[in-house]
Structure 1
């Protein structure tokens, strides 16, 4: 779902890039670290995660406030359209008493009261405060996880921009060189010292390069659009990347990534699971606390007035006050097994999380070892591709010189050029693969990156 959203937004950004005017652009020059820092402050997902932490902090305050004094006040006004009638049975006041219908009370009544209550003891409250703090900790850890995801996504997008830019530079350089070769060959052909097929072969190379350049330019625009989106930039903003692939490769601590011992507690997913286990333990305590009584104290102060006419604002007439205080205790006695069933469910959930803990430890060990092997293999492949690219470049240079001297054919030149472009592209992609594998390994081994 998330990948689909990113792809859609990237295309939206691309349309904006193709149609925007230069006057509306704001330019940002970013190293990878600067791009990450900007994304941490402006990315939509990160901003939302900040709000999750703020909401969790308010939930802690809300739950703690339950244990503090609560004061409520109210005003009640009653206007009897018809006063209640009471029947006095015959003989109430003597044998000759025939009974009577009487009305008590006054037409207009008003009262005001204030009640203060204080929780004295409740096991659920004590456990609940601890649980709310664990939920806050979980929100903070989820924020770190989102930040790690953003570190990976922004870094990968930055690499993609560099790959697209480097590919375009190689194609532009090759195009310039081949256009010069085509120009010289045409002159030689017109002078009668070259074959027409030589011109056609070079024209074919130039045409293929033109098509590849057009495709690469589109890839560059898409790569920038995706990077803009992840950083939280506006569609019309322009990013200039400063770092280079070689620079980023030089910054990698290969020894640490391959040799540092893996600590499970440095993995953010494992830390989230540990927090979930702590919450499950608190949930068990919460269910057990249902067996305990709860005690609260209260104080009530009120005043009231009854009037035959609406004269409550007449300061010369009396209001009658009263007050009382008390203690309330609620004792759970019998729930037909409901409380016990909830306790057993909480215990079962703890057992499940213990199993998940063992499963995650085993899974993380396998993932780290696999990621280390893939990272090391990617590095070895990159070194091999570097040698292959240098060899292909040497072959192209020698073949070009031979072609100018009339020793090799245009077909040889075409083959050498294609070989050079293929090996150069393979090397650039191999560098990108090393950086991507580094990201995967870092996310597994460390919980704080790019800060």
Structure 2
């Protein structure tokens, strides 16, 4: 709990620091790097928080299991009013004979109106073969929750990185569309002036207006995508929606060629999925031991201390001389004899589960190798496609520039400029699509190599 409190305090300090910096720039704008986004998400993402709570539950289960081996002490007190004392029938002969009663039995009441008891009971396990197996299983389960927590954190990192890159790509697309729109506005003004002077046709102005309207629609789409990606990033981070965020890093800051080369050269490291399945195998093995240990007899110690009193009226029952002590201790040996083959069938099921997990482990080992190969191949292909689209974008930019020069010098047509601008817009769209695919492939490779 102290650790959790420190974490929440750290989150508060982190938010306050970002808010102070944000207020200095604009009202409630948090400027976040990728590392800051990851750090905040690991403390506030719903899945990450639930995984942390699951580890706390596992710790409590260890204490719960350990408590079964400690003394179990219970106390009770009761006071009873015998409203109708039961009748006991005895033969009307011998010491009970009543000659004046014409019956072979006599109805007698044995009891008092009020009785009370104060009891303290002690039970202590001496030997139980399943106890230590269960305690070890609880500790192993705690290890599993730690691995599950680590897996949740890896998934959160993957989600945050992809969301962060999505925001960056959409912001860059929005800026470039704005630049394209500026070029078209300039061209439209020039063409409109030429039309008014009689050096251009109406159709030339209309072509540019159509192109400009299409670009405005594209701008609206990109801005909407950017806003949605920002909201998704905040949702995945666990950041309140009323905060505005600004990304402090650019795409070039996060994807250096050296980093890409190091990824390709790295062979991979430990994957938490293997730890998870190995721990599950250990748990099933312990479960088999636990069930088998239930064939062993159990030995318990027990003891009871009690004080009893009785009276005909409530006022008399509290008198000290009416209370009498009773106590006993003993050992209880429980020997399992026959359970209808219940434990035997349970062991058979768990051995089958163990075999299933062993099969899954072999498949997972192969699957991890395939994931690394696939992720590395996808990144190589996406980087190559990105280079091609980057070259196409530069060529389209050059074509537009030459078409504009020719048009300005009167040796080219307005149609060539419009077509070149349309080709440039398509090339930029393809470039950013390839860029996003490359970024996602990079994250996938990091995950496959166990680096997230």
Q: TM-score, normalised by structure 2?
A: 0.88
Checking the alignment, whether the CA contact within 8 Å between 1:245 and 1:432 is kept in structure 2 is no
1:26 to 25, 28, 40: 28
2:82 to 80, 90, 93: 80
Residues 1:39 and 1:87: Cα distance change in structure 2 (over 3 Å): same
CA–CA distance in structure 1, aligned partners of residues 437 and 94 of structure 2: 103
CA–CA distance in structure 2, aligned partners of residues 25 and 318 of structure 1: 79
1:178 aligns with 2:184: yes
1:146 alignment partner in structure 2: 152
1:444 alignment partner in structure 2: 448
Shift of 1:315: 4.4
Residues 1:172 and 1:100: Cα distance change in structure 2 (over 3 Å): same
CA–CA distance in structure 2, aligned partners of residues 285 and 363 of structure 1: 31
CA–CA distance in structure 1, aligned partners of residues 323 and 448 of structure 2: 73
CA–CA distance in structure 1, aligned partners of residues 35 and 444 of structure 2: 17
Please show how residues 387-402 of structure 1 align to structure 2 within 5 Å: 387-402=391-406
CA–CA distance in structure 2, aligned partners of residues 83 and 313 of structure 1: 17
1:243 aligns with 2:245: no
1:336 to 340, 343, 347: 340
2:266 to 260, 272, 279: 260
Q: Say which is worse superposed, 184-193 or 27-36, in terms of deviation.
A: 184-193
1:281 aligns with 2:285: yes
1:354 aligns with 2:342: no
Checking the alignment, whether the CA contact within 8 Å between 2:311 and 2:317 is kept in structure 1 is no
Shift of 1:94: 9.0
Partner SS state of residue 239, structure 1: strand
Residues 1:423 and 1:276: Cα distance change in structure 2 (over 3 Å): same
Shift of 1:281: 0.6
Residues 1:89 and 1:252: Cα distance change in structure 2 (over 3 Å): farther
Checking the alignment, whether the CA contact within 8 Å between 1:30 and 1:241 is kept in structure 2 is yes
CA–CA distance in structure 1, aligned partners of residues 223 and 438 of structure 2: 24
Partner SS state of residue 315, structure 2: coil
* Higher normalized contact order (CA 8 Å, seq sep 6+, divided by chain length): 1
Q: Say which is worse superposed, 98-107 or 276-285, in terms of deviation.
A: 98-107
Shift of 1:251: 7.4
Residues 1:139 and 1:95: Cα distance change in structure 2 (over 3 Å): closer
1:198 to 197, 204, 213: 204
Checking the alignment, whether the CA contact within 8 Å between 2:114 and 2:317 is kept in structure 1 is no
Partner SS state of residue 410, structure 2: coil
1:111 aligns with 2:113: no
Partner SS state of residue 253, structure 1: helix
1:291 to 286, 295, 298: 295
2:218 alignment partner in structure 1: 212
1:126 alignment partner in structure 2: 132
CA–CA distance in structure 2, aligned partners of residues 36 and 312 of structure 1: 73
> What is the aligned residue count?
423
Residues 1:344 and 1:368: Cα distance change in structure 2 (over 3 Å): same
Partner SS state of residue 233, structure 1: coil
CA–CA distance in structure 2, aligned partners of residues 274 and 94 of structure 1: 76
Checking the alignment, whether the CA contact within 8 Å between 2:91 and 2:97 is kept in structure 1 is no
Q: Say which is worse superposed, 90-99 or 168-177, in terms of deviation.
A: 90-99
CA–CA distance in structure 2, aligned partners of residues 349 and 211 of structure 1: 57
Checking the alignment, whether the CA contact within 8 Å between 1:280 and 1:349 is kept in structure 2 is yes
2:436 alignment partner in structure 1: 432
CA–CA distance in structure 1, aligned partners of residues 320 and 151 of structure 2: 69
Checking the alignment, whether the CA contact within 8 Å between 2:51 and 2:152 is kept in structure 1 is yes
CA–CA distance in structure 1, aligned partners of residues 316 and 409 of structure 2: 117
Structure 1: state its 5+ residue gaps: 1-23
Partner SS state of residue 95, structure 2: coil
Q: Cα RMSD between the aligned structures?
A: 2.1
1:162 alignment partner in structure 2: 168
1:421 to 425, 436, 443: 425
Shift of 1:140: 1.5
Residues 1:128 and 1:316: Cα distance change in structure 2 (over 3 Å): closer
CA–CA distance in structure 1, aligned partners of residues 45 and 168 of structure 2: 21
Checking the alignment, whether the CA contact within 8 Å between 1:301 and 1:322 is kept in structure 2 is yes
Shift of 1:261: 2.5
1:64 alignment partner in structure 2: 66
Partner SS state of residue 224, structure 2: helix
Residues 1:441 and 1:252: Cα distance change in structure 2 (over 3 Å): farther
CA–CA distance in structure 2, aligned partners of residues 126 and 353 of structure 1: 24
